[in-house]
Chain A
């Protein structure tokens, strides 16, 4: 039995419900809904979905969109934790819906309930979709591309394994915005460049082939730069790629302090 608890008129969506597999639990999913054309403010809606413990939360959202309420919108692309489209606040923590499993959301008391909200601190557009432009503006501001002065080498730019290892961690970023939108400084002051931009600056600042570390450090020493970081470690906790974000920020601070990368 799978129906929307709130709006029966929209339930059913026309599609025939798939059979409920063995071992499925009925999961109550509370989703923050917002339609800018009809709603003044976001509100919560609840859905009951049969889910297997091994399902990803993204499967649950798909079930709701395909079988219960087709008006639900959210971003997702690769669905395998690579593109970083489906970052959302799941039970109060920023997670990728495609990487978190239902069994990890059930909790120790097996309470089959989960709350899904859009990431915080960016303008809300609709349901779980936020405007990512301020996030990408900050990303572009740190010049996240290789800048090399002098003549182009005729072969590849050689780099030792030790030099490569210095920024290995920060190459993993998929720009999902989970870290930036978990940062309380970013919630309060959206001019702050945010952890993700600093991670991507770090990736080039500590690259031995890059010549523009000074440029990027200059940008990050601004009043909206790294010195706004209060080391709350929210960013490190939520990174779906396990990047040591706070460590990267501290390394940038150290580079600024000693003017040495």
Chain B
């Protein structure tokens, strides 16, 4: 690979000047790389798309467990959906385990779904303006949903309304 700085080859200079050039510049400026030059490392730019791709896979795996467990508890086990009332919810959220379970489910499902929508918007919106505003709308909805959900899980008071 030639060095881009070697734009003026030495051969085109008058003979009396070529020696001066050689003495004032190192070998690389003449397009000759030093023997066994170490391999150039490329700076790693933004890897956002890779992490987003990875997040979809990992959050998907975790969500399978969280959501199936949630469905089982809410709809199947021990009388299923018929026993769900204020007291049942209050009882579960009294335990930090279920608080964390529901919080993880909320965050992962919201971000997983939003990231999927982000990709779909990127694919199908034709004009940059449409894309931008759809993404803004999506971001606002994510902040609202995640914010409100987290707020409820953390501040839930069983004695509320009584």
Q: Are B123 and A150 in contact (CB under 8 A)?
A: no
How far does the alpha carbon of A225 sit from the alpha carbon of B49 in the complex, in Å?
Answer: 9
> Given A149-B1, A214-B41 in contact, is the A223-B48 Cβ separation under 8 Å?
yes
Q: Across the interface, do B36 and A150 meet the contact criterion of CB distance under 8 Å?
A: yes
Q: A185-B123, A188-B123, A227-B52 are in contact. Are A218 and B42 (CB under 8 A)?
A: yes
Q: Mark A210-232, 1 if CB is under 8 A from B, else 0.
A: 01001101100111010110000
Within the complex, which residue of A147, A188, A257 is in contact with B1, where a contact is CB–CB below 8 Å?
Answer: A147
What CA separation (Å) do A189 and B39 show in the bound complex? 35
Q: Are A257 and B50 in contact (CB under 8 A)?
A: yes
- Known A149-B37, A185-B123, A211-B39: A227·B45 in contact at CB below 8 Å: no
- What residues on A are CB-neighbors of B33 within 8 Å? 149-151
A168 to B127, CA, bound (A): 40
Q: Are A151 and B35 in contact (CB under 8 A)?
A: yes
Q: Are B39 and A149 in contact (CB under 8 A)?
A: yes
Asked if B24 is an interface residue, CB under 8 A from chain A, the answer is no
Does B94 sit within 8 A of A, measured CB to CB?
no
* Residues of chain A within 8 A of B48, CB atoms compared: 223
Let me know if B50 and A221 touch, CB within 8 A: yes
Contact digits for A98-128, partner B, Cβ 8 Å, 1 yes 0 no: 0000000000000000000000000000000
Interface size class of B (residues with CB under 8 A): 20 to 34
Chain B 37-57 interface 0/1 with A at a Cβ cutoff of 8 Å (1 = within): 101111011011110111000
With A149-B33, A150-B33, A227-B52 as given contacts, are A214 and B42 in contact (CB-CB < 8 Å)? yes
**A contacts with B, residue count (CB < 8 A):** 23
B36 contact set on A, CB distance < 8 A: 150-151
A79 interfacial contact with B, CB 8 Å: no
Q: Does A11 contact B (CB under 8 A)?
A: no
Given A149-B40, A150-B35, A227-B53, is A221 in contact with B123 using a C-beta cutoff of 8 Å? no
Q: Mark B50-88, 1 if CB is under 8 A from A, else 0.
A: 101110000000000000000000000000000000000
- CA–CA, A227 and B50, complex, Å: 6
A25: Cβ under 8 A from any B Cβ: no
A257 to B1, alpha carbons, bound, how many Å? 28
Q: A148–B36 Cα gap in the complex (Å)?
A: 12
Report yes or no: A188 in contact with B124, Cβ–Cβ below 8 A.
yes
Asked if B123 and A223 sit within 8 Å, CB to CB, the answer is no
B49 touches which of A147, A214, A227 (Cβ 8 Å):
A227
Q: Are A150 and B37 closer than 8 Å at their CB atoms?
A: yes
A253 to B56, CA, bound (A): 14
Find chain A residues with CB under 8 A from B42 CB. 214-215, 217-218
Complex-state Cα separation, A257 to B123, whole angstroms: 23
A214-B40, A218-B44, A223-B49 are known contacts; what are 19 more A-B pairs with Cβ within 8 Å? A148-B1, A149-B39, A150-B37, A151-B36, A185-B123, A188-B123, A188-B124, A189-B123, A214-B41, A221-B44, A221-B47, A222-B45, A222-B49, A223-B48, A225-B49, A227-B52, A228-B49, A256-B50, A257-B50
29 A-B pairs with CB atoms under 8 Å apart are: A148-B1, A149-B1, A149-B33, A149-B37, A150-B37, A151-B33, A151-B35, A188-B124, A189-B123, A211-B39, A214-B40, A215-B42, A217-B42, A218-B44, A218-B45, A221-B44, A221-B49, A221-B50, A222-B45, A223-B48, A223-B49, A225-B49, A227-B49, A227-B50, A227-B52, A227-B53, A253-B53, A257-B50, A257-B54
